[in-house]
Chains A and B, each alone.
Chain A
């Protein structure tokens, strides 16, 4: 049976790969068309550069400013990653507690909901005061708060939303709670968890960049974007935005890759379903 599943999975992955290429073509074409129209329209309509710079100008700004942008990518990226890891660890721990004990559910769920409703723009100056605005911890705290909620909610759902018949079966074999958790609940929660992780990955970058509007070193992406925009170097500001965007996409792709490694059966199922 194991060999059969593996064989099916690998076939599905191969199919998925080919499909991935053909799937990528239409959005790629749309993207190229948008960029081309953007470039042509701005040239044709003679729009003032401080309203919207041309893509070619933004690209050359990336080359021009690469040494600063590179520092910003590393700095902001590590803040986002740090917050993501802390938020994940706390979120998973909370999710397990909530799934296991109903008291924990009553205690922790409101906190998770509360954390998700904190307006980040109001929270950022406060974390800056807690950790000093110069410290990356101020941004890591923001990212942690942003990541926490989706991880808790999704993971709890994955851990609890288990087929009752499967639990019955396990119980009939006298499986312990630990065994049920390990062999049934956790595998069941994996797809939910990765869905949460995809959301969290892009949220993390947004949280870090917003937090940086309130302090940090000169090259941090949020600070770079806002101060370049302030002196009308909009091409540079857009280059910074592009970097933040690439960072978010990068995080997302890493999560996708991890997902394929961790739960290949799910990827295979998705390909087969489609």
Chain B
């Protein structure tokens, strides 16, 4: 028999044992003791999650009686798997990935929508003459895949292509292949990989790459219109059903919202906090990321964390039309009541909408230092 099957079998057994052994800390404890909450990030420690670092640092979680542990993610950690199997009470995830996991049998539900806009872009060097999804067709298209591809695939279909026939290449979680020219058009988060290109020296000129060297394709652009909702806070339906847990979730959201408001008003401090928390890429990069993340959150027209129903409907519509999902999710996939309660608890003394927010200009240096 193929050894690969045996190997995989081992992994499955290890995974099941891992699940069985991951203990669930007492979610509600008595007598004024702090309630432990584990929060699974969808990626490594970086400014994308600065609001939660700020809520820890500023004591907002403590104010709510919560003892929160932030669990970092990464390429080998499936955030959805961790939350679905009880390795964490709450976590973050892109909305389409959460919905895909529900089709795969989880009971994960989105309870607050942090990013109001999509941060995914496709970037190409100017000389490749790739300016929109149509001109991507037939080229070497990079994607991280693994649930990061729906916006791209939807755009390819809309442009008259077939993602299964296009030359879609699995892209590493850095921009090396793009800079080396192995990929013509690469996937890049505006707050992360895009900056990584701008932090790299062009070997022929000896200068850092500049935005003028790049074409950027934005899925939010109405002419493309395949942007989907990204970072949301997720929980298990079964966890929320247990007595007292909805209350914990509301408290968590309230503190997290305060953290994000803090990071809007103290962008540099939050970038420093993330570096202090052990981010892999350093201060210059985190400052860029914080600024861009703020731009994806603010303004939040309905208040921080509140779902824009039209954006949700659009996400579902794209997901079902372009076969990211087999069918539209049922009612249970999203809840807006908990985020509403958390927002109401914040009161009117703080600006929860950030209507006047304007991103600043961050200058990048080599290597993002």
| B52: min CB distance to chain A, Å | 23
Binds A, one of B3-11, B206-214, B274-282, B289-297: B3-11
B164 contact set on A, CB distance < 8 A: 67-68, 219
Q: Which of B1, B19, B147 is close to A230, meaning CB atoms less than 8 Å apart?
A: B147
Contacts of A209 on B, CB cut-off 8 Å? 4
Known: A49-B105, A134-B169, A231-B100. A202 touches B177 (CB 8 A): no
Q: CB < 8 Å: which of A51, A202, A227, A231 contacts B2?
A: A202
A269 sits at the interface (CB 8 A): no
Q: CB-CB contacts of A198-231 with B at 8 A, as 1s and 0s?
A: 0000110110010000111111100100110111
The yes or no answer to B80 lying at the interface (CB within 8 A) is: yes
Which one of A218, A223, A234, A249 has the greatest number of beta carbons of chain B within 10 Å? A218
CA distance A188 to B23 in the complex (A): 59
CA distance A51 to B104 in the complex (A): 9
Interface centre among A67, A220, A245 (most CB of B within 10 A): A245
B167 at interface by CB-CB < 8 Å:
yes
Instruction: Assess whether A123 is interfacial by the CB under 8 Å rule.
Output: no
Q: Which B residues, 156 to 172, have Cβ-Cβ distances below 8 Å to chain A?
A: 164, 167-170, 172
Q: Beyond A205-B4, A227-B147, A245-B5, is A216–B170 a contact (Cβ under 8 Å)?
A: yes
Q: How far is A227 from B1 in the complex, measured between Cα atoms in Å?
A: 24
- Compute how far the CA of A231 lies from the CA of B143 in the bound complex, rounded to whole angstroms: 15
A217 contacts across to B, CB distance below 8 A: 167-170
Least CB separation from A48: chain B residue: B105
Question: Does A52 lie at the interface of the complex (its beta carbon under 8 Å from any beta carbon of B)?
Answer: yes
Q: Please name all residues of chain A whose beta carbon is closer than 8 Å to the beta carbon of B78 when the two chains form the complex.
A: 229-230
Q: Whole-angstrom distance between the alpha carbons of A232 and B106 in the complex?
A: 9
Do A249 and B106 touch across chains, with their CB atoms under 8 A apart? no
Residue on B with the closest CB to A71?
A: B164
Contact of B145 among A128, A203, A218 (CB under 8 A): A218
Give CA–CA (A216, B80) in the complex, Å: 25
* Residue A109 at the chain B interface, CB threshold 8 Å: no
8 A Cβ contacts from B67-90 to A: 78, 80-81, 84
A145 to B201, CA, bound (A): 35
Which chain B residues in 162-213 approach chain A with CB under 8 Å?
164, 167-170, 172, 177, 180, 182-183
Q: What chain A residues lie within 8 Å of B103 (beta carbons)?
A: 232-233
Q: Which residues from 1 to 48 on chain B have a C-beta closer than 8 Å to any C-beta of chain A? A: 1-5, 7-8, 12, 16, 19
What per-residue 1/0 map shows which CB atoms of A28-49 lie under 8 Å from chain B? Answer: 0000000000000000000011
Using an 8 Å CB-CB cutoff, how does the interface string of B300-313 with A read, 1 for contact, 0 for none? 00000000000000
Whether B183 pairs with A134 at a CB distance below 8 angstroms is: yes
Count of CB-CB pairs between chains A and B under 8 Å:
104
Please state if A248 and B3 are interface contacts (CB–CB under 8 Å): yes
B353 lies within 8 A of chain A by Cβ = no
- B106 in contact with A50 (CB, 8 Å): yes
Any A CB within 8 A of the CB of B62 = no
Is B146's CB within 8 Å of the partner chain A?
yes
Known contacts A206-B4, A245-B2: does B177 contact A134 (CB below 8 Å)?
yes
Note all chain B residues with C-beta closer than 8 A to A52: 12
Nearest residue (CB) in A for B15 is A51
Q: Is A153 an interface residue (CB 8 A)?
A: no
A132 at the A/B interface (Cβ < 8 Å)? yes
Binary CB contact string for chain B from 98 to 114 against chain A (1 if under 8 A, 0 otherwise): 00110111100000000
Q: B147 touching A231 by the CB < 8 A rule?
A: yes
Tell whether A62 is near chain B: CB-to-CB under 8 Å.
Answer: no
Residue from A48, A223, A241 within 8 A of B170 (CB atoms): A223
Q: Which residues from chain B contact A245 at a C-beta distance below 8 Å? A: 1-2, 4-5
Contact of B182 among A67, A133, A223, A234 (CB under 8 A): A133
Is B335 engaged at the interface, CB distance under 8 Å to the other chain? no
* Interface assignment of B140: CB less than 8 Å from any CB of chain A: yes
Q: How far is the CA of A219 from the CA of B145 in the complex (A)?
A: 11
B269 proximal to A (CB < 8 A): no
Contacts of B100 in A (CB 8 A): 231-233
User: Would B2 and A49 count as touching, CB distance under 8 A?
Assistant: no
The yes or no answer to A140 lying at the interface (CB within 8 A) is no
Q: Is the Cβ of A234 less than 8 Å from the Cβ of B146?
A: no
Any B CB within 8 A of the CB of A247: yes
Question: A9 an interface residue at 8 Å Cβ cutoff?
Answer: no
Per-residue 0/1 for B323-346: is the Cβ within 8 Å of any A Cβ (1 yes, 0 no)? 000000000000000000000000
Q: Which of A216, A231, A241 has the most B CB atoms < 10 Å from its CB?
A: A231
Q: Is the CB of A50 within 8 A of B2?
A: no
Please measure, in the bound complex, the distance between the C-alpha atom of A20 and the C-alpha atom of B106, giving whole angstroms.
Answer: 45
Cross-chain pairs A/B with CB under 8 angstroms, 22 sampled = A49-B105, A67-B164, A68-B164, A132-B180, A134-B140, A134-B169, A202-B3, A206-B4, A209-B4, A215-B170, A215-B177, A218-B143, A218-B168, A223-B145, A230-B78, A230-B145, A230-B147, A231-B101, A231-B147, A232-B81, A234-B104, A245-B4
Extra 16 A-B pairs, beta carbons < 8 Å, given A48-B105, A216-B170: A50-B81, A50-B105, A51-B16, A52-B12, A68-B164, A134-B177, A205-B2, A209-B4, A215-B177, A217-B169, A218-B143, A220-B170, A227-B146, A231-B146, A232-B100, A234-B104
Q: Pick the 8 closest A-B CB pairs, nearest first.
A: A232-B104, A248-B2, A230-B146, A245-B2, A49-B105, A227-B146, A227-B145, A231-B147
